[in-house]
Structure 1
């Protein structure tokens, strides 16, 4: 029934749009149906094999990626400080992105760690077959040493969203990705980078399509399972969007981190607020979800269906505040 309601709502939205009046706001879809049970199936209660970054026994750690005005030490600190000030609490997890050649251990990384946050490093490794050919061994060893020097546990998302169709030219196949994952992890082992919890993080869409599981390296290789899930193109409850992933993850003794989640500006303040409220209860009824990280960003060049920043949208941001002030998300 929820899915039908969302389809009808979307049809109403299209029917009501006026493309001739630029200043007129299009009608917004109705709020998600919060009266029915969330699509919650990740009920594996452990014990979990989570690596150096331990999963809380109860509740879930809250974190975020906050796009800075400038990708500098000052800019990164200012972005995180601003959100923490607005929320009235520190982030337990700070998500940070790195290209293949960018090392961890920057001044801002060290500052976040000094404040007690856990880094979740989203590392965009390159072509899997060139990795397996040994072309990047020096770079991978350098990164392993940089991680080791942090001397604190780190979450590492090696080439997150590897299942995206637009990455197939460098991922090649699930088998290639798995082989590259094992290759990189072996180099980290050789460099004694033992402070890494390895996070495998595909997209919710990849599980809806059915191709994401082919990229899974195995329970012996992964410490945390993960998913990125957005109400962007599809305005549906978060439990429906990530339901296929949760069904799969429940079969594995791994804690779950929601690596990125967000609701797009296109769905209006009321719709966004309701979606966030539903996300809060969905996370809470999934005991296997042990960490979440909001994607507080409007990437440049993206339209309203790919703009997820809640700051500046009071009703939606209020629901984010309610979530992070819930003791469940401050274990």
Structure 2
């Protein structure tokens, strides 16, 4: 069954194509008819002392209910922070208090051989938030040869058993040169992607939306589009879009420009799964976020996920790869403005006053 959503309109944005996915409406996550979901990655440890997430080059790292196309529970009366006592949710709840609303999407990173769902995953699935499960990749040739069939089947069964809609973002940033030794080539990646989907289909896993996610930068220097498995294999097209540590200052519109041009040729909803404003931008962080809000109010963009973490920084002095807004009053305020803009609150979740 194919779900579709008519693209909405926003100030300054052109018309988007009719959006279709292979996801089953009412079972797997499908895009909102208007606007975009707002989510975040918030490290599961005490904020400011988080462990590293698996890198795009790593193959290792760190529920229940009836199936539904929307997360369980209702939006009405849900206040930010109410799930702070559940496993892994305290940092998420703290971030939600800063944002003045509950998140639509909570991201979780899992290694290739890591079991899931984790404690955080289960907490998210038991709430009315969507889980964005970012699953690391492995050697594509070994996947195609069948070496990991049993592992893939076990993960498929685990996701099916949750009975909840899950975004699955497998082997993100596959276009990076740093992962060429395991990705090998676009053809090898596509063959591995199709084998995963084939096994999930055999296990009758209907509650997954497949998110294909290279880097936004890969549409410039390299040919990220060559890794695209095809419209019949992908539910959401995605990009990771940090400004880049080699820039003193760069608007999100510039980071996303080439990716968005490519995406216009696809009848798919867009997710920006990792974006953040570097601490090196100082007093201009709020300005960057307000400009990003306008860029993301695009009728084809249906989900945005903030990377609220400093874990990619090489050390405490590396501000170009540090994206957490915690403690930065102006940045928190600007990101809160984005989060509480009606466009990024399509489920009309309660918004608290103050900040």
- TM (normalized to structure 1)? 0.84
**Larger C-alpha radius of gyration, 1 or 2?**
1
Aligned equivalent of 1:315:
330
Q: 1:272 aligns with which of 273, 285, 293?
A: 285
Given that 2:19 and 2:269 are in contact with CA atoms closer than 8 Å, whether structure 1 keeps it comes out as no
The question of 1:53 aligning with 2:29 is answered yes
CA distance in 2, matches of 1:325, 1:242: 22
SS in 1 for 2:88: helix
The corresponding residue for 1:305 is 320
In 1, distance between residues paired with 2:32 and 2:254? 25
Instruction: Assess if the C-alpha contact under 8 Å between 1:264 and 1:272 holds in 2.
Output: yes
Output one character per residue of 1:114-150: Cα deviation in whole Å (capped at 9) or x when no partner: 2200111110021111111211111111100001011
> Equivalent residues in 2 for 1:130-149 (5 A)?
130-149=142-161
1:232 CA displacement: 3.2
Any residues of structure 2 matched to 1:178-197 within 5 Å, and which?
A: 178-197=190-209
Q: Aligned equivalents of 1:290 and 1:116: distance in 2?
A: 18
CA separation in 1, counterparts of 2:182 and 2:122?
31
Task: Indicate the SS of the match to 1:317.
Answer: helix
- What is the CA distance between 1:75 and its match in structure 2? 6.5
Q: Distance in 1 between matches of 2:272 and 2:327?
A: 23
- The structural deviation recorded for 1:106 is 2.4
**How far, CA to CA, are the matches of 1:304 and 1:239 in structure 2?**
21
Map 1:147-186 → 2, pairs under 5 A = 147-186=159-198
Structure 1 position 240, deviation (Å) = 1.3
The alignment status of 1:198 with 2:210, answered yes or no, reads: yes
Q: Which protein has the bigger helix share?
A: 1
1:165-186 CA-to-partner distances (Å, cap 9, x unmatched) read: 1011110011110000001110
Q: Deviations over 1:37-72 (max 9, x none)?
A: 98x66x424142251211011111000000122679
Alpha-carbon shift at residue 87 of structure 1 (Å): 1.5
| 1:66 maps to which of 42, 67, 92 | 42
Number of the residue aligned with 2:75: none
TM-aligned CA distance change 1:50 to 1:93, over 3 Å: farther
CA contact (8 A) 2:313 2:322 kept: no
> Structure 2 unaligned runs (5+)?
1-10, 52-61, 63-84, 347-355
Match of residue 16 from structure 1: none
Q: Is 1:212 matched with 2:224?
A: yes
In 1, the alpha carbon distance for the partners of 2:274 and 2:200 equals: 25
Q: Secondary structure at the match of 2:276?
A: strand
For 1:255 and 1:115, the matched residues in 2 are separated by 24
Shift of 1:272: 1.2
Structure 1 residue runs of 5 or longer lacking an equivalent are: 1-36
Q: Could you tell me the TM-score, scaled by structure 2's length?
A: 0.78
Counterpart secondary structure, 1:209: coil
Q: In 2, Cα distance between the equivalents of 1:300 and 1:178? A: 28
- 1:229-240 equivalences in 2 (<5 Å): 229-233=241-245, 234=247, 235-240=249-254
Q: Distance in 1 between matches of 2:17 and 2:146?
A: 39
Q: Secondary structure at the match of 1:48?
A: strand
CA deviations on 1:199-231 (whole Å, 9 max, x unpaired) are 000001101214101110000100000001012
- C-alpha separation in 2, matches of 1:76 and 1:300: 20
User: Cα offset for 1:314?
Assistant: 1.1
Is 1:243–2:257 an aligned residue pair?
yes
- Deviation, 1:108, is 2.2
Contact residue 124 and residue 158 of structure 1 kept, 8 A: yes
